[in-house]
């Protein structure tokens, strides 16, 4: 997907606002190599830059070898299937705009990457990847998994003693309802909302975000940007705008700090 800025430029802009770290993500490839290749450009930047891997068909799906490589080279985030999840593919099949958006440059349609086997149980690779993340102290995101799959993943990770978990944009594509989101938050998952979806009410009005924050509490909420693409605001522009709107809506500064500072710092292991 065409970007307005490089990882290095994003880090420089984040540093200007005092961000301790950013994570760069791609649906199609491991971004750790990107970050390592930009090391000379990042050497004088105070904001740390981390990469990770999204377990879509482009990297072999639930591929412990790809996860191992990512984590051993410094990766901090494992996104379970996003554009290869059954929920995403079903959504894209009904929305041509979504389908074309996630096939940039005319790329092949992603293959489905399920996390359940024919017997309805989680595949063995899921447990392997959870253990890899736990050992490395890496964050697991539910990606674009639907409600049943996301909850099963969070339950399995929590049972394994792993608490660095994110449920990503529950109300976009994945359709995770309040009951499931609350249950996952109680198991230790942080509910992540993307600034891009609320910038100028692009997809959802701000009140939807306010309702989600009230539902699970700021202690279980984080704000990610999902920005930087051509046609979208820059990530720091998005953060400045959303924080201003939240303050104007009466959200206390301490709650905003939880959502953009404390919770993300814990999840990514900045103070570990």
pLDDT tens, 211-227? 999 999 999 999 999 99
pLDDT at residue 272 in the model? 64
Q: What element of type H or E holds 196?
A: helix 195-198
Residue 61: strand, helix, or coil: coil
Quick: pLDDT tens for 135-187. Answer: 999 999 999 999 999 999 999 999 999 999 999 999 999 999 999 999 999 99
Quickly state the pLDDT bin for 235 (edges 50, 70, 90).
very high
218: left (phi over 0), alpha (psi -120 to 50) or beta: alpha
Residue 115: strand, helix, or coil: coil
Residue whose structure tokens are 């791609």: 26
Residue % of the chain over a pLDDT of 70: 100
What is the residue-wise DSSP string for 192-217? EEEHHHHGGGSSS-HHHHHHHHHHH-
pTM of the model: 0.95
**E strand spans, the chain:** 21-23, 48-50, 52-54, 77-79, 139-141, 165-168, 189-194, 221-224
For 74, phi then psi, to 5°, come to 110, 5
Instruction: Please state the rounded mean pLDDT for residues 88-113.
Output: 85
pLDDT at residue 263 in the model? 97
Lookup: tokens for 254: 């301490």
Instruction: Please state the rounded mean pLDDT for residues 91-107.
Output: 82
pLDDT at residue 100 in the model? 78
What is the residue extent of each domain of the chain?
A: 7-268
pLDDT at residue 73 in the model? 97
Quick: pLDDT tens for 114-143. Answer: 999 999 999 999 999 999 999 999 999 999
Residue whose structure tokens are 């879509």: 56
In order of 61, 71, 75, 208, 210, the CA distances from 137 in angstroms are 21, 9, 10, 32, 30
pLDDT at residue 198 in the model? 96
Domain 7-268: state its class. Answer: alpha beta
CB 206, CB 245: distance < 8 Å: yes
């Amino acid at each position: 997907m065409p970007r307005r800025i490089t990882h290095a430029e994003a880090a420089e802009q984040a540093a200007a606002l005092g961000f301790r770290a950013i994570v760069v993500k791609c649906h199609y490839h491991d971004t750790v190599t990107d970050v390592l290749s930009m090391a000379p450009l990042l050497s004088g930047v105070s904001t740390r830059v981390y990469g990770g891997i999204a377990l879509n068909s482009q990297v072999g799906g639930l591929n412990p070898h790809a996860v191992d490589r990512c984590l051993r080279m410094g990766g901090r985030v494992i996104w379970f299937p996003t554009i290869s999840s059954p929920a995403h593919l079903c959504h894209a099949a009904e929305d041509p705009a979504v389908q074309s958006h996630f096939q940039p440059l005319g790329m092949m349609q992603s293959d489905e990457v399920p996390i359940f086997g024919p017997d309805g149980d989680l595949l063995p690779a899921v447990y392997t990847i959870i253990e890899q993340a736990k050992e490395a102290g890496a964050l697991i995101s539910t990606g674009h998994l639907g409600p049943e799959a996301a909850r099963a993943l969070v339950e399995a990770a929590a049972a394994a003693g792993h608490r660095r978990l994110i449920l990503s944009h529950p109300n976009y594509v994945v359709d995770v309802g309040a009951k499931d989101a609350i249950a996952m938050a109680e198991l230790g998952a942080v509910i992540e909302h993307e600034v891009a979806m609320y910038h100028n009410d692009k997809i959802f009005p701000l009140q939807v975000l306010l309702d989600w924050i009230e539902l699970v509490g700021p202690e279980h909420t984080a704000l990610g940007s999902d920005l930087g693409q051509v046609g979208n605001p820059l990530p720091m522009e998005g953060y400045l705008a959303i924080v201003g709107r939240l303050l104007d809506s009466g959200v206390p500064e301490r709650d905003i700090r939880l959502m953009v500072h404390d919770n993300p710092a814990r999840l990514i292991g900045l103070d570990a």
